[in-house]
Amino acid sequence: MEFQLKQCQAATEKTGTVIVAVSGKELSPSARELDAASDGQIAHALKGAGFEGKPGQIQMFYALPGIAAEQVLVVGTGELKELDSRGLQRAAAAAVKALAKAPRKAVSFLAELDVKGLDLNERIGDIVRASLEGSYRFDEFKSRKSPAKGLEQLTVAVPDKAAASAGKKALAWGQAVARGINRARDLGNQPPNICHPTYVAEQAKLLGKTHDKTLDVKVLGEADMKKLGMGAFLAVSHGSEQEGKLVIMEYKGGKKSEAPVVLVGKGITFDTGGISLKPGAGMDEMKYDMCGAAAVLGVMAALAESGLPVNVVGVMACAENMPSGRATRPGDIVTTLSGQTVEILNTDAEGRLVLCDALTYISRYKPAVVIDIATLTGACVVALGKVVSGLFTPSDDLAAELLEAGQRSGDRTWRMPVLADYQEALDSPFADIANISTAGPGGGAITAACFLARFTKDYTWAHLDIAGVAWNSGANKSATGRPVPLLMQYLKQRVEC
């Protein structure tokens, strides 16, 4: 899909579709203009159709008198005073989805909406981003692809020429973020027989080749990790025929002297649970257990495309968690790269094992901030559902920045405690630490974060548990690409201040 910005009028614009909003009962300025030009046809028909302007609700009008466009698409946003970034994106995505089989060109008048906390450029960025997200499809493995080609060109209408030229950067930003999101979704949706650790590493290398001036990619295999002493990581990858890989991507967009932000993603390309085998129902969804790593790759792609002036190191800790004769047993004790020993009581708590060694490894970068991203616990889904990700950090400042980035990007997060009182639950009679709480399942997302906290004392750190938000289940199951938007917004905020 191609994007452009243009100053234009809804009633006279010759195009396939004009997209306008209705917020609750209130017609947007352009919707009112269309209504006036068509002698009140829009308001009249909306009333008849019982259209209430609810978020994402849509109504199409064909060949209205007095209107130059072939058709008009009205999209609901919910009450205007409650409209935020998330709501604007929902409307833009719903519009694009509704136009999959329509004329190939459309002009969107959604940027005129008054959205809480967003200026015009941010609204442009959100519309572009959501439109690209809304047109995402994953049909690589379908013999018969959908014949609908989708929108070819979307013009975002702006009030004047100055806004059109000022908005170009926002447009490019929205595009870069959306491509990063869709890239993360592609990786997440790949089946686990194809998307194994080596495949993920190859994807990173390809990305590095495309952006060889700003992106360096390095891959450590199991022999390298053994030499380093990454006993916890290897305890997970050992049971699999697929070799575990630690993928390191260095994006150099900022000053040489500037300490990097380090992102560490959990990349379990399939999580059977290992010897602590998971129940069979829905186990296929554990192909998404690499969505933390996919988000890191998506962020690196978006950074390279946007050229954001920051230094970021992206690390993907990739392994497959399988039961086999070589697999780790419950009761095994391993030595982590940090020197701390871990008694592995449950091989299904594998994410923290690959992450703890990766988190120790990256201290060599003397990071300004470290954020790990992981589909870490079912307990986080129980606590927060699929709306917000779990944010765990001892730093109030970092928490505030990430919470703000979540609000502004519509990819929200919610702070959870990492109090010392929870640490006792991880005591082991035999090793320095157990890999699961011995006090039962209560607070499972927190005790998982507390495990990681023992390996992140040398720097400012946050952990995002994305087990709930990384994919949608059910008939239309698919990776969401979250939290690429949150992380990109956070990095942008760092540059702006």
Residue positions annotated with a catalytic role: 278, 352
Identified binder of ligand BES from the candidate list 133, 350, 357, 372, rule CB under 6 A: 350
Give the number of residues in contact with Zn ion, rule: CB under 5 A: 4
Task: Compute the least distance from the CB of residue 436 to ligand BES, in Å.
Answer: 4
Facing residues of 212 across strands?
none
Q: Which does 346 bind (CB under 5 to 8 A by kind): Mn ion, ligand BES, Zn ion, none?
A: ligand BES
Contact indicator for 485, 418 with CB cutoff of 8 Å: no
Give the shortest CB-407-to-ligand BES separation in angstroms: 24
- Ranked by CB distance to Mn ion, the top (closest) residue is 348
| Cα 8 to Cα 17: distance, rounded to the nearest angstrom | 13
CB under 6 A: which stretch of 58-66, 195-203, 219-227, 345-353 binds ligand BES? 345-353
Selected from 78, 314, 351, 483, the binder of ligand BES by CB under 6 A is 351
Q: Does 378 bind ligand BES (CB under 6 A)?
A: yes
Which stretch in 21-29, 56-64, 107-115, 349-357 sits in contact with ligand BES by CB under 6 A?
349-357
- In terms of Cβ atoms closer than 10 Å to its own Cβ (0-12, 13-18, 19+), residue 340 is middle
131: tokens are 């439109």
Half-sphere exposure of 366 (CA within 13 A, CB side): 3
Tokens (6 digits) for 483:
């939290």
Q: Contact letters (x/-) for ligand BES, 433-452, by CB under 6 A?
A: ---x-------x--------
* Closest approach of ligand BES to the CB of residue 341, in Å: 19
Which string of b and e fits 432-470 if b means at least 16 CB within 10 Å?
bbbbbbeeeeebbbbbbbbbbbbbbeebbbbbbbbbbbb
Question: Residues binding ligand BES: what is the number (CB under 6 A)?
Answer: 16
Q: How far is CA 488 from CA 129, 177, 495, in A?
A: 12, 7, 11
Which range binds Zn ion by CB under 5 A, 35-43, 181-189, 344-352, 437-445? Answer: 344-352
Is 348 a binder of Mn ion (CB under 5 A)? yes
Asked if residue 1 lies in contact with residue 151, where contact means CB atoms within 8 angstroms, the answer is yes
**Residue from 375, 393, 409, 456 that binds ligand BES (CB under 6 A)?**
375
Give the CA-trace dihedral at 275, 279, 284, 285, to 10 degrees: -100
Residue 175 to residues 119, 128, 415, Cα–Cα distance (Å): 18, 6, 29
- By beta-carbon proximity to ligand BES, the closer residue of 250 and 350 is 350
CA dist., res. 328 & res. 326, Å (int): 7
Single out the residue of 271, 320, 411, 465 in contact with Mn ion (rule: CB under 5 A): 271
Burial class of residue 172 in the structure, from the number of CB atoms within 10 Å of its CB (0-12 exposed, 13-18 middle, 19+ buried): middle
SS3 string, 403-426, reads: HHHHHHHCCCEEEECCCHHHHHHH
Minimum CB–partner distance for residue 93 and ligand BES (Å): 24
Of 71 and 375, which CB lies nearer to ligand BES in the complex structure? 375
Residue 379 contact among Mn ion, Zn ion, ligand BES, none, beta carbon within 5 to 8 Å by kind: ligand BES
Q: Given the rule CB under 5 A, which of 194-202, 292-300, 350-358, 449-457 is the region that contacts Mn ion? A: 350-358
Residue of 316, 208, 225 whose CA lies nearest to 269: 316
Site for Zn ion in 218-277 (CB under 5 A): 268, 271
Of 271, 320, 343, 401, which lies in the binding site for ligand BES, with binding defined by CB under 6 A?
Answer: 271
Residues composing the chain: 497
Helix (H, G, I), strand (E, B) or coil at 203: helix
Site string for ligand BES, 245-264 (x = CB under 6 A): --------------------
348 binds ligand BES (CB under 6 A): yes
Binding track over 381-420 against ligand BES, x by CB under 6 A = x---------------------------------------
- The CA-atom distances, in angstroms, between 108 and each of 93, 113, 132, 155 are 11, 11, 13, 6
Binding mask 276-315 for ligand BES (x = CB under 6 A): -------------x--------------------------
- Residue nearer to ligand BES on the CB measure, 198 or 346: 346
The answer to whether residue 351 forms part of the interface with Zn ion (CB under 5 A) is yes
Rounded CA-CA distance 302/132 in Å is 14
Q: Which stretch binds Mn ion (CB under 5 A): 23-31, 348-356, 430-438, 470-478?
A: 348-356
Our finding on whether 379 is near ligand BES (CB under 6 A) is yes
Q: Which does 377 bind (CB under 5 to 8 A by kind): ligand BES, Zn ion, Mn ion, none?
A: ligand BES
Q: Residue 459, SS3?
A: coil
User: In this chain, which residue has its C-beta nearest to Zn ion?
Assistant: 271
Q: Which of 214, 340, 341, 346 binds ligand BES (CB under 6 A)?
A: 346
Q: Which residue is nearest to ligand BES (CB)?
A: 378
Asked if 336 and 329 touch (Cβ cutoff 8 Å), the reply is no
- Report CA-CA distances (Å) from 453 to 146, 234, 391, 394, 497: 47, 20, 13, 9, 28
The DSSP H or E segment spanning 246 is strand 245-252
| Contact residues for Zn ion, defined by CB under 5 A | 268, 271, 289, 351
| Contact residues for Mn ion, defined by CB under 5 A | 271, 348, 350
| Contact residues for ligand BES, defined by CB under 6 A | 271, 289, 346, 348-351, 375-379, 381, 436, 444, 467
